[in-house]
Amino acid sequence: MAGSPRVGVLALQGDVREHAALLAGLGAEVALVRRPEELATVDGLVIPGGESSVIDKLSRTFGMREPIRVAIAAGLPVYGTCAGLILLADEVLDGIDGQQSFGGMDIAVRRNAFGRQTESFEIDLQVPALGDAPVHATFIRAPIVERAGDRVEVLASLPDGRIVAVRQGALIGTSFHPEVEGETRFHVMLLESAREAAATR
C-alpha cells in the first residue's frame, strides 16, 4: 500500500509470524529484522512474545542490542508484547543471571508473574484509549508491571489492579498477546506512530 509505514518485527525468537501477518493485514510493509542494517530501514518495530532471556542473548549475538537501544532513545516507535514488554522495561525484577533489557520505558516488570504455561488464561479488559469495546486478552506465562513512572500512561489493569498495558511516548507494552486473538488496535496505535516517524525521516 502506497504511503504505508515500514514496520519491522524483531525476528530472533518468538511469535514473529503472527505479528507479521497481522501487520500485513493492516496494510503495513513488514520487514523481519535480525541485523542492524535491517533495523535502520524501519519506521516502527514489534518485539514479540517468546523467551525474554533468549531474545536478549540473541540480540547480543547478532549485534542488535545497542542499535535497538539507540533507536529507542532516538524515538523509534516500538510495541512489545509479553517478552517484548520485559525487554522494553528499564528494570527487570527477576531476570536470570546476566539478563539485560533494551530499556526505554520507566517501568519495573516481573517475569512469569502468573506461573507456568498451564496457568495461562484469557480475560476481557477495558482499555479506554482504544475505545469502548473490550480487549480480549490472552496471558501466556505473562509478566506484570509492578512499577510505572510518572511519564508512563497505564492503558489497562486487571480487576485486582495489576498493570498489564502501558504506553510511554512512542513505546507501547502489553503483558498479553493481542495477535493471538486477532486484536489489531494496539498494532494500529503503533502504525500511527510509525506513520508520523516516517513523515519526519
CB 153 within 8 A of CB 168: yes
Strand partners, 61: none
Q: Which of 177, 181, 192, 196 is catalytic?
A: 177
Q: Which of 18, 179, 183, 187 is catalytic?
A: 179
C-alpha cell at 164: 498489564
Annotated catalytic residue 136: no
For cell 533489557, name the residue. Answer: 101
Ramachandran bin of 169, using left for φ above 0, alpha for ψ from -120 to 50, beta for the remaining angles? left
Annotated catalytic residue 181: no
CA dihedral 84, 122, 155, 75 (to 10 degrees): 20
Q: Which of 19, 82, 183, 187 is catalytic?
A: 82
Annotated catalytic residue 196: no
Active site residues: 82, 177, 179
